[in-house]
Homo-oligomer: A and B are copies of this chain.
């Protein structure tokens, strides 16, 4: 009886704290060698792409896929399927538009849990879209955040973000009119934009970094996107990424930093090393730390499972008859 979850059900079944914990556990399982996540397949279509990202978690007993298709120009559809890895049953099929934002946020939550100062209480946000929202929510799930500031170029967008997120997260949020003002004096920074460095300006500059800050950058997942400048990577004492291979291949910010010869791999670690303690999140309250994320198939499958579990607990979604034969040979 697979469970079908539409966008409203997925959103209602999002428990950010639970999702952060499950992704944390999933990354530990990956570190222990029990996760299979091949590089994603990217098929070109007439007017966009058809992308396939499967993952298997042998310890958790979970497997699944995310398939997303379309283009930034024409819009994108995201589908996640979750299976029981031992028995092989299809457990759920769900929309993953919101979920992709939520899992990115939850992954930032995992990094922030280990990298940010324990007494962090303020956040500066650049961006006002889905990712900015889910990432701020995840940071609030792992630190006792009291206040935030947000900048987004369109005043109405940042005002709406401040009003809506203050109500949902129960914290003070102020909309401000420059990016620098949003991040100045805050403990944690979240940059979640879709910028391409128009007018040669990055959404965020390393020159703004302050002692003790932890910075999360989760936009710039494509080669042409830019949101943080090379100085951001230079000024960070420690950098954590979700997938070293992928950020060096796909992330526009890292590609530009590599091109300029400013990518210092020696201070870059993967999230697996962070959660297992192989590398420290920080060694002093004064260090500047950076998390750079591009997203992995593991995060999708774990997040889909988190939604499935919470939806089942809450009785959300629509069960359909099991339509897959279990063929015996």
Contact = CB atoms under 8 A, between A and B. Distances in A.
Given A38-B41, A52-B65, A79 B88 contact: no
B56 A323 contact: no
Interface in A70-104: 70, 72, 74-79, 81, 83, 85-86, 88-90, 93-95, 97-98
B86 A47 contact: yes
Contacts of A326: 70, 75-77
B95 A46 contact: no
Interface in A142-194: 194
Contacts of A321: 6, 318
B44 A97 contact: no
A38 B43 contact: yes
Interface string A38-78: 10010111111010101110100101010101101011111
B79 A324 contact: yes
A329 B75 contact: yes
Interface size range of chain A in the complex = 35 or more
Contacts of A56: 43-45, 50
A77 B46 contact: no
A7 B325 contact: yes
Given A36-B44, A50-B54, A321-B6, A90 B65 contact: no
Q: Interface majority SS on A: helix, strand, loop or mixed?
A: strand
Nearest to A324: B77
A5 interface: yes
A198 to B, nearest CB: 15
Interface string A301-329: 00000000000000000101101111111
Interface of A: 4-7, 36, 38, 41, 43-48, 50, 52, 54-56, 58, 61, 63, 65, 67, 69-70, 72, 74-79, 81, 83, 85-86, 88-90, 93-95, 97-98, 194, 318, 320-321, 323-329
28 contacts: A5-B323, A36-B44, A38-B43, A41-B41, A41-B54, A43-B56, A44-B56, A46-B86, A50-B54, A50-B56, A50-B85, A52-B65, A70-B326, A70-B327, A72-B329, A75-B327, A76-B327, A76-B329, A77-B89, A77-B90, A77-B326, A78-B325, A79-B81, A79-B324, A95-B323, A95-B324, A97-B325, A318-B321
